[in-house]
Structure 1
Amino acid sequence: MFNITFDDATFVVQNRSTALPLSPLTNPYHHMFFANGFVYMPDSWEPYPSISQPNVAMVLPFGAPLLKSIPFAGSLLPGEFGAGPRAAVSAYWFNAHSGYFGCALNGITPCTLRISGYRYDPVGKKEVLAAEQTVSIPACPLYIGCKLMRVDFNEGFTGLSGIQFNAYTGVLNVPQVFMMDSLGMEWWNNTCEAGILRIGHR
Protein backbone atom coordinates (compact mmCIF):
# COMPACT_ATOMS: atom_id res chain seq x y z
CA MET A 1 0.00 0.00 0.00
CA PHE A 2 1.13 3.56 -0.65
CA ASN A 3 -0.39 7.03 -0.63
CA ILE A 4 -0.01 9.71 -3.27
CA THR A 5 0.04 12.90 -1.19
CA PHE A 6 1.53 15.51 -3.56
CA ASP A 7 3.73 16.66 -0.67
CA ASP A 8 7.15 15.60 -1.95
CA ALA A 9 6.97 17.26 -5.36
CA THR A 10 9.37 20.11 -6.05
CA PHE A 11 7.32 23.29 -5.88
CA VAL A 12 7.87 25.65 -8.79
CA VAL A 13 5.55 28.55 -9.57
CA GLN A 14 5.11 28.50 -13.35
CA ASN A 15 3.57 31.95 -13.64
CA ARG A 16 4.70 34.46 -11.05
CA SER A 17 2.08 36.98 -12.14
CA THR A 18 -0.74 34.70 -11.02
CA ALA A 19 -2.49 35.23 -7.71
CA LEU A 20 -2.25 31.52 -6.89
CA PRO A 21 1.00 29.55 -6.60
CA LEU A 22 -0.02 26.76 -8.97
CA SER A 23 2.60 24.27 -10.07
CA PRO A 24 1.89 21.47 -12.61
CA LEU A 25 2.97 17.98 -11.64
CA THR A 26 6.10 16.75 -13.40
CA ASN A 27 5.68 13.48 -15.28
CA PRO A 28 6.29 10.88 -14.10
CA TYR A 29 5.45 11.41 -10.41
CA HIS A 30 5.64 8.27 -8.23
CA HIS A 31 5.77 6.21 -11.46
CA MET A 32 2.46 7.77 -12.58
CA PHE A 33 1.73 10.08 -15.50
CA PHE A 34 -0.77 12.91 -15.04
CA ALA A 35 -2.91 14.67 -17.63
CA ASN A 36 -2.60 18.41 -18.21
CA GLY A 37 -4.69 20.28 -15.66
CA PHE A 38 -3.28 18.54 -12.57
CA VAL A 39 -1.54 21.07 -10.33
CA TYR A 40 -0.59 21.15 -6.67
CA MET A 41 -0.46 23.98 -4.19
CA PRO A 42 -0.06 24.66 -0.46
CA ASP A 43 -3.36 24.24 1.36
CA SER A 44 -2.98 27.74 2.82
CA TRP A 45 -4.03 29.06 -0.61
CA GLU A 46 -7.35 27.23 -0.84
CA PRO A 47 -10.26 26.43 1.51
CA TYR A 48 -9.60 22.72 2.18
CA PRO A 49 -6.93 21.74 4.72
CA SER A 50 -4.79 18.94 3.33
CA ILE A 51 -4.98 15.48 4.85
CA SER A 52 -1.19 15.34 4.76
CA GLN A 53 0.74 18.60 4.92
CA PRO A 54 1.49 20.79 3.12
CA ASN A 55 0.01 20.32 -0.38
CA VAL A 56 -3.21 19.29 -2.06
CA ALA A 57 -3.76 18.59 -5.76
CA MET A 58 -6.15 20.70 -7.81
CA VAL A 59 -7.67 19.59 -11.10
CA LEU A 60 -8.49 22.37 -13.57
CA PRO A 61 -11.00 21.24 -16.23
CA PHE A 62 -10.69 24.51 -18.17
CA GLY A 63 -7.26 25.67 -17.05
CA ALA A 64 -5.14 22.99 -18.74
CA PRO A 65 -4.52 25.07 -21.92
CA LEU A 66 -3.21 27.91 -19.75
CA LEU A 67 -0.58 25.74 -18.08
CA LYS A 68 2.77 24.63 -19.40
CA SER A 69 2.29 21.25 -21.06
CA ILE A 70 4.07 18.37 -19.33
CA PRO A 71 5.62 15.36 -21.11
CA PHE A 72 3.21 12.59 -22.13
CA ALA A 73 0.23 14.41 -20.55
CA GLY A 74 -1.53 14.38 -23.90
CA SER A 75 -1.65 10.59 -23.86
CA LEU A 76 -4.18 10.66 -21.00
CA LEU A 77 -7.82 11.65 -20.80
CA PRO A 78 -8.75 14.92 -19.03
CA GLY A 79 -8.60 14.32 -15.29
CA GLU A 80 -6.78 10.98 -15.69
CA PHE A 81 -3.54 9.69 -14.24
CA GLY A 82 -1.93 6.29 -14.41
CA ALA A 83 0.59 4.27 -16.40
CA GLY A 84 0.21 6.59 -19.40
CA PRO A 85 2.70 5.58 -22.13
CA ARG A 86 3.53 2.45 -20.08
CA ALA A 87 -0.11 1.27 -20.01
CA ALA A 88 0.80 -2.05 -21.65
CA VAL A 89 3.33 -2.90 -18.88
CA SER A 90 1.63 -4.68 -15.97
CA ALA A 91 4.32 -3.52 -13.51
CA TYR A 92 2.64 -0.10 -13.60
CA TRP A 93 -0.94 -1.31 -13.11
CA PHE A 94 -2.48 -0.52 -9.74
CA ASN A 95 -5.41 -0.98 -7.39
CA ALA A 96 -7.09 2.23 -6.19
CA HIS A 97 -8.75 2.14 -2.76
CA SER A 98 -9.64 5.64 -1.57
CA GLY A 99 -9.02 9.37 -1.75
CA TYR A 100 -10.10 12.70 -0.25
CA PHE A 101 -11.98 15.23 -2.38
CA GLY A 102 -13.57 18.66 -2.26
CA CYS A 103 -15.11 21.01 -4.84
CA ALA A 104 -13.24 24.28 -5.21
CA LEU A 105 -15.67 26.58 -7.01
CA ASN A 106 -19.01 25.51 -5.65
CA GLY A 107 -19.83 26.69 -2.13
CA ILE A 108 -23.62 26.46 -2.32
CA THR A 109 -24.74 23.14 -3.80
CA PRO A 110 -23.12 19.69 -3.76
CA CYS A 111 -21.08 18.60 -6.75
CA THR A 112 -20.97 15.21 -8.41
CA LEU A 113 -17.62 13.39 -8.63
CA ARG A 114 -17.41 10.76 -11.38
CA ILE A 115 -14.58 8.24 -10.98
CA SER A 116 -13.69 6.02 -13.94
CA GLY A 117 -11.20 3.17 -13.87
CA TYR A 118 -9.48 1.94 -17.05
CA ARG A 119 -7.69 -1.32 -17.84
CA TYR A 120 -5.33 -1.92 -20.70
CA ASP A 121 -6.74 -4.33 -23.28
CA PRO A 122 -3.82 -6.21 -24.89
CA VAL A 123 -6.02 -7.36 -27.78
CA GLY A 124 -7.30 -3.93 -28.74
CA LYS A 125 -4.06 -2.31 -27.51
CA LYS A 126 -5.92 0.47 -25.73
CA GLU A 127 -7.42 1.32 -22.36
CA VAL A 128 -11.06 0.33 -21.84
CA LEU A 129 -13.52 1.38 -19.14
CA ALA A 130 -13.49 -1.22 -16.36
CA ALA A 131 -15.16 0.46 -13.37
CA GLU A 132 -17.19 3.56 -12.65
CA GLN A 133 -18.46 5.19 -9.49
CA THR A 134 -20.35 8.42 -8.81
CA VAL A 135 -20.44 10.18 -5.45
CA SER A 136 -21.88 13.45 -4.18
CA ILE A 137 -19.41 15.85 -2.56
CA PRO A 138 -21.14 18.15 -0.04
CA ALA A 139 -20.95 21.90 -0.43
CA CYS A 140 -18.92 24.06 1.94
CA PRO A 141 -21.05 27.19 2.47
CA LEU A 142 -18.99 30.39 2.44
CA TYR A 143 -15.91 28.11 2.40
CA ILE A 144 -15.80 28.14 6.21
CA GLY A 145 -14.64 25.02 8.04
CA CYS A 146 -14.23 23.00 4.84
CA LYS A 147 -13.05 19.39 5.05
CA LEU A 148 -12.03 17.07 2.26
CA MET A 149 -14.42 14.12 2.04
CA ARG A 150 -13.06 10.58 2.09
CA VAL A 151 -14.29 8.44 -0.80
CA ASP A 152 -13.78 4.68 -0.76
CA PHE A 153 -13.64 3.24 -4.26
CA ASN A 154 -15.62 0.11 -5.03
CA GLU A 155 -14.07 -3.30 -5.62
CA GLY A 156 -13.94 -2.82 -9.38
CA PHE A 157 -10.98 -0.44 -9.20
CA THR A 158 -8.30 -3.11 -9.43
CA GLY A 159 -5.73 -3.97 -12.08
CA LEU A 160 -6.04 -0.48 -13.53
CA SER A 161 -3.76 1.22 -16.02
CA GLY A 162 -5.49 4.56 -15.42
CA ILE A 163 -8.04 6.32 -13.24
CA GLN A 164 -10.00 9.44 -14.18
CA PHE A 165 -11.73 12.00 -11.97
CA ASN A 166 -14.26 14.60 -13.12
CA ALA A 167 -16.44 16.86 -10.98
CA TYR A 168 -19.67 18.57 -12.05
CA THR A 169 -22.29 20.83 -10.54
CA GLY A 170 -25.14 18.75 -9.21
CA VAL A 171 -27.87 20.34 -11.37
CA LEU A 172 -26.34 22.01 -14.42
CA ASN A 173 -23.61 19.40 -15.03
CA VAL A 174 -20.97 22.11 -15.49
CA PRO A 175 -17.35 20.90 -15.01
CA GLN A 176 -15.89 21.97 -11.67
CA VAL A 177 -12.43 22.64 -10.33
CA PHE A 178 -11.82 20.22 -7.46
CA MET A 179 -9.21 19.24 -4.86
CA MET A 180 -7.80 15.84 -4.01
CA ASP A 181 -5.34 14.47 -1.48
CA SER A 182 -3.96 11.23 -0.01
CA LEU A 183 -4.95 8.67 -2.62
CA GLY A 184 -4.65 5.17 -1.16
CA MET A 185 -3.24 2.75 -3.74
CA GLU A 186 -1.20 -0.42 -4.21
CA TRP A 187 0.60 -2.05 -7.11
CA TRP A 188 -1.40 -4.76 -8.84
CA ASN A 189 1.75 -6.63 -9.86
CA ASN A 190 3.91 -7.23 -6.79
CA THR A 191 6.36 -9.70 -8.29
CA CYS A 192 10.08 -9.16 -7.79
CA GLU A 193 10.49 -8.53 -11.51
CA ALA A 194 7.87 -5.78 -11.46
CA GLY A 195 9.41 -4.17 -8.39
CA ILE A 196 12.88 -4.16 -9.96
CA LEU A 197 11.45 -2.57 -13.12
CA ARG A 198 9.79 0.19 -11.08
CA ILE A 199 12.96 0.80 -9.06
CA GLY A 200 14.92 1.25 -12.28
CA HIS A 201 12.51 3.83 -13.70
CA ARG A 202 10.79 6.90 -12.31
Structure 2
Amino acid sequence: MTFDDLPNFVPNKQNKTDITQAPPIPNPYHHLTFSNGYVYGPQPSVPYLPSSAPHLAVFLANGSGMMASSMQPGEVGDGPYESMSAFWFDAFSAFMGCDNAGPGLCTIVFTGYTWSPDAKNEIATYTQNATVAPCPSLVNCQLQQVSFPTSFRGLSGVRMQAFVGNEPRMFFVDDMKLGWSNNPCQAGLTRLRYQ
Protein backbone atom coordinates (compact mmCIF):
# COMPACT_ATOMS: atom_id res chain seq x y z
CA MET A 1 0.00 0.00 0.00
CA THR A 2 1.89 3.02 -1.30
CA PHE A 3 -0.75 5.81 -1.08
CA ASP A 4 0.58 7.00 -4.44
CA ASP A 5 -2.70 6.37 -6.29
CA LEU A 6 -4.55 8.91 -4.11
CA PRO A 7 -5.48 12.18 -5.86
CA ASN A 8 -2.88 14.91 -5.96
CA PHE A 9 -3.77 18.13 -4.18
CA VAL A 10 -2.24 21.56 -3.91
CA PRO A 11 -2.36 23.12 -0.45
CA ASN A 12 -3.31 26.78 -0.37
CA LYS A 13 -0.57 29.30 0.44
CA GLN A 14 -1.61 29.73 4.07
CA ASN A 15 -1.69 25.98 4.73
CA LYS A 16 1.28 24.95 2.59
CA THR A 17 3.26 23.68 5.57
CA ASP A 18 0.34 22.64 7.80
CA ILE A 19 -0.14 18.89 7.46
CA THR A 20 -3.32 19.03 9.56
CA GLN A 21 -4.99 20.63 6.52
CA ALA A 22 -4.13 17.68 4.26
CA PRO A 23 -6.99 15.50 2.95
CA PRO A 24 -7.97 12.39 4.89
CA ILE A 25 -7.27 8.97 3.48
CA PRO A 26 -10.61 7.91 1.98
CA ASN A 27 -12.43 4.92 3.44
CA PRO A 28 -12.27 2.28 2.22
CA TYR A 29 -8.83 2.43 0.64
CA HIS A 30 -7.80 -0.83 -1.04
CA HIS A 31 -10.60 -2.54 0.94
CA LEU A 32 -9.16 -1.34 4.27
CA THR A 33 -10.44 1.31 6.67
CA PHE A 34 -8.26 3.96 8.30
CA SER A 35 -9.17 5.31 11.73
CA ASN A 36 -9.82 8.92 12.51
CA GLY A 37 -6.62 10.97 12.15
CA TYR A 38 -5.04 9.55 8.98
CA VAL A 39 -4.27 12.04 6.22
CA TYR A 40 -1.86 11.93 3.31
CA GLY A 41 0.55 14.52 2.14
CA PRO A 42 3.35 15.49 -0.19
CA GLN A 43 6.31 17.74 0.46
CA PRO A 44 6.73 20.49 1.67
CA SER A 45 4.11 19.95 4.38
CA VAL A 46 5.67 16.64 5.46
CA PRO A 47 9.19 16.50 6.92
CA TYR A 48 9.72 12.92 5.69
CA LEU A 49 10.42 11.93 2.12
CA PRO A 50 8.08 9.19 0.86
CA SER A 51 9.82 5.85 0.29
CA SER A 52 7.85 5.86 -2.98
CA ALA A 53 6.75 9.21 -4.39
CA PRO A 54 4.60 11.23 -4.35
CA HIS A 55 2.52 10.46 -1.21
CA LEU A 56 2.82 9.00 2.23
CA ALA A 57 0.31 8.61 5.07
CA VAL A 58 0.43 10.67 8.24
CA PHE A 59 -1.31 9.95 11.52
CA LEU A 60 -2.03 13.15 13.42
CA ALA A 61 -1.49 12.48 17.11
CA ASN A 62 -4.50 14.65 18.01
CA GLY A 63 -6.81 12.33 16.06
CA SER A 64 -8.34 14.97 13.78
CA GLY A 65 -9.48 13.94 10.31
CA MET A 66 -12.15 11.60 8.95
CA MET A 67 -14.03 9.46 11.48
CA ALA A 68 -14.07 5.68 11.11
CA SER A 69 -16.64 4.22 13.56
CA SER A 70 -15.40 1.81 16.20
CA MET A 71 -11.71 1.61 15.33
CA GLN A 72 -8.90 2.39 17.74
CA PRO A 73 -6.93 5.61 17.06
CA GLY A 74 -4.12 4.79 14.64
CA GLU A 75 -5.70 1.54 13.45
CA VAL A 76 -5.80 0.29 9.88
CA GLY A 77 -8.21 -2.60 9.50
CA ASP A 78 -11.07 -4.28 7.78
CA GLY A 79 -13.63 -1.93 9.32
CA PRO A 80 -17.18 -3.29 9.30
CA TYR A 81 -16.03 -6.63 7.83
CA GLU A 82 -13.78 -7.70 10.71
CA SER A 83 -15.65 -11.00 11.14
CA MET A 84 -15.26 -11.96 7.46
CA SER A 85 -12.10 -13.96 6.75
CA ALA A 86 -11.94 -12.59 3.18
CA PHE A 87 -10.86 -9.27 4.72
CA TRP A 88 -8.22 -10.64 7.11
CA PHE A 89 -4.68 -9.70 6.15
CA ASP A 90 -1.03 -10.41 6.87
CA ALA A 91 1.32 -7.54 7.76
CA PHE A 92 4.95 -7.90 6.64
CA SER A 93 6.61 -4.47 6.84
CA ALA A 94 6.21 -0.70 6.61
CA PHE A 95 8.42 2.37 6.28
CA MET A 96 7.98 4.56 9.36
CA GLY A 97 8.98 7.98 10.65
CA CYS A 98 8.17 9.98 13.76
CA ASP A 99 7.70 13.69 14.47
CA ASN A 100 10.82 13.83 16.58
CA ALA A 101 13.82 16.15 16.28
CA GLY A 102 15.51 14.35 19.19
CA PRO A 103 17.59 13.89 21.12
CA GLY A 104 15.48 10.98 22.44
CA LEU A 105 14.31 8.06 20.34
CA CYS A 106 10.74 7.49 19.18
CA THR A 107 9.02 4.22 20.02
CA ILE A 108 6.36 2.99 17.64
CA VAL A 109 3.99 0.44 19.15
CA PHE A 110 2.28 -1.96 16.75
CA THR A 111 -0.74 -3.93 17.95
CA GLY A 112 -2.17 -6.71 15.80
CA TYR A 113 -5.90 -7.43 16.18
CA THR A 114 -7.66 -10.68 15.27
CA TRP A 115 -11.34 -11.58 15.17
CA SER A 116 -12.62 -13.55 18.16
CA PRO A 117 -15.80 -15.53 17.44
CA ASP A 118 -16.31 -15.99 21.20
CA ALA A 119 -16.08 -12.27 21.98
CA LYS A 120 -17.81 -11.37 18.69
CA ASN A 121 -15.25 -8.59 18.39
CA GLU A 122 -11.66 -8.08 17.39
CA ILE A 123 -9.14 -8.44 20.20
CA ALA A 124 -5.56 -7.26 20.64
CA THR A 125 -3.53 -10.40 20.00
CA TYR A 126 0.05 -9.38 19.15
CA THR A 127 2.33 -6.47 19.98
CA GLN A 128 5.69 -5.29 18.74
CA ASN A 129 7.71 -2.15 19.44
CA ALA A 130 10.15 -0.52 17.05
CA THR A 131 12.58 2.31 17.72
CA VAL A 132 12.88 5.07 15.14
CA ALA A 133 15.85 7.41 15.19
CA PRO A 134 15.19 11.17 15.46
CA CYS A 135 15.55 13.52 12.50
CA PRO A 136 17.23 16.61 14.02
CA SER A 137 16.36 19.02 11.20
CA LEU A 138 12.85 17.62 10.51
CA VAL A 139 13.59 18.34 6.83
CA ASN A 140 14.14 15.67 4.15
CA CYS A 141 14.02 12.92 6.77
CA GLN A 142 14.34 9.29 5.68
CA LEU A 143 11.72 6.72 6.65
CA GLN A 144 12.98 3.59 8.38
CA GLN A 145 11.78 0.12 7.34
CA VAL A 146 10.18 -1.91 10.13
CA SER A 147 9.52 -5.63 9.67
CA PHE A 148 6.64 -7.28 11.50
CA PRO A 149 7.00 -10.67 13.19
CA THR A 150 5.50 -13.78 11.62
CA SER A 151 2.72 -13.63 14.23
CA PHE A 152 1.19 -10.64 12.40
CA ARG A 153 -0.91 -12.93 10.19
CA GLY A 154 -4.68 -13.28 9.81
CA LEU A 155 -5.22 -9.79 11.23
CA SER A 156 -8.46 -7.85 11.30
CA GLY A 157 -6.48 -4.70 12.09
CA VAL A 158 -3.11 -3.26 13.01
CA ARG A 159 -2.82 -0.24 15.29
CA MET A 160 0.21 2.05 15.19
CA GLN A 161 1.12 4.54 17.92
CA ALA A 162 4.24 6.71 18.28
CA PHE A 163 5.70 8.01 21.53
CA VAL A 164 8.69 10.02 22.64
CA GLY A 165 8.83 9.16 26.31
CA ASN A 166 5.14 9.09 27.25
CA GLU A 167 4.14 11.82 24.80
CA PRO A 168 2.11 10.71 21.74
CA ARG A 169 3.61 11.91 18.46
CA MET A 170 2.51 12.28 14.89
CA PHE A 171 3.95 9.51 12.70
CA PHE A 172 4.52 8.89 9.01
CA VAL A 173 4.06 5.63 7.12
CA ASP A 174 4.60 4.53 3.54
CA ASP A 175 4.83 1.34 1.50
CA MET A 176 2.96 -0.92 3.88
CA LYS A 177 3.58 -4.45 2.69
CA LEU A 178 0.32 -6.31 3.34
CA GLY A 179 -1.30 -9.37 1.82
CA TRP A 180 -4.66 -11.06 2.08
CA SER A 181 -4.61 -14.07 4.43
CA ASN A 182 -7.51 -15.64 2.54
CA ASN A 183 -6.89 -15.05 -1.15
CA PRO A 184 -8.60 -17.65 -3.38
CA CYS A 185 -10.91 -16.39 -6.11
CA GLN A 186 -14.02 -16.66 -3.89
CA ALA A 187 -12.50 -14.39 -1.23
CA GLY A 188 -11.55 -11.84 -3.90
CA LEU A 189 -15.13 -11.86 -5.20
CA THR A 190 -16.38 -11.31 -1.63
CA ARG A 191 -14.12 -8.25 -1.26
CA LEU A 192 -15.45 -6.87 -4.56
CA ARG A 193 -19.03 -7.42 -3.45
CA TYR A 194 -18.55 -5.54 -0.16
CA GLN A 195 -16.74 -2.40 -1.33
Deviations 1:166-202 (A, max 9, x none): 0000x3x100001000000110001221011123343
- Are 1:7 and 2:4 counterparts? yes
Which residue does 1:92 correspond to in 2?
87
Q: Distance in 2 between matches of 1:141 and 1:37?
A: 25
Residue identity matched to 1:5: T
Q: 1:134 aligns with which of 113, 118, 129?
A: 129
* Cα shift at 1:48: 1.3
- Are 1:115 and 2:106 counterparts? no
Q: What TM-score does the superposition give when structure 1 sets the normalisation length?
A: 0.88
Supply the RMSD in Å over aligned alpha carbons: 2.0
Residues 144/41 of structure 1: CA separation in 2 closer, same or farther (3 Å cut): closer
Name whichever of 122-131 and 38-47 sits farther off: 38-47
* Cα shift at 1:105: 4.2
Percent identity, please: 38
Q: 1:75 aligns with which of 52, 70, 79?
A: 70
* Cα shift at 1:132: 0.4
Count of aligned residue pairs for this structure pair: 192
* Cα shift at 1:104: 2.0
Alignment check: 8 A CA contact 1:107 1:143 kept: no
- Are 1:194 and 2:191 counterparts? no
3-state DSSP of counterpart to 2:62: coil
Alignment check: 8 A CA contact 2:98 2:106 kept: yes
Alignment check: 8 A CA contact 1:105 1:178 kept: no
Q: How does 1:120-199 map to 2 (within 5 A)?
A: 120-169=115-164, 171=165, 173-199=166-192
Residues 145/108 of structure 1: CA separation in 2 closer, same or farther (3 Å cut): farther
Q: What TM-score does the superposition give when structure 2 sets the normalisation length?
A: 0.91
Q: Distance in 2 between matches of 1:62 and 1:181?
A: 20
Residue identity matched to 1:126: N
Residue identity matched to 1:122: P
Deviations 1:144-183 (A, max 9, x none): 55210000001110000000000000x3x10000100000
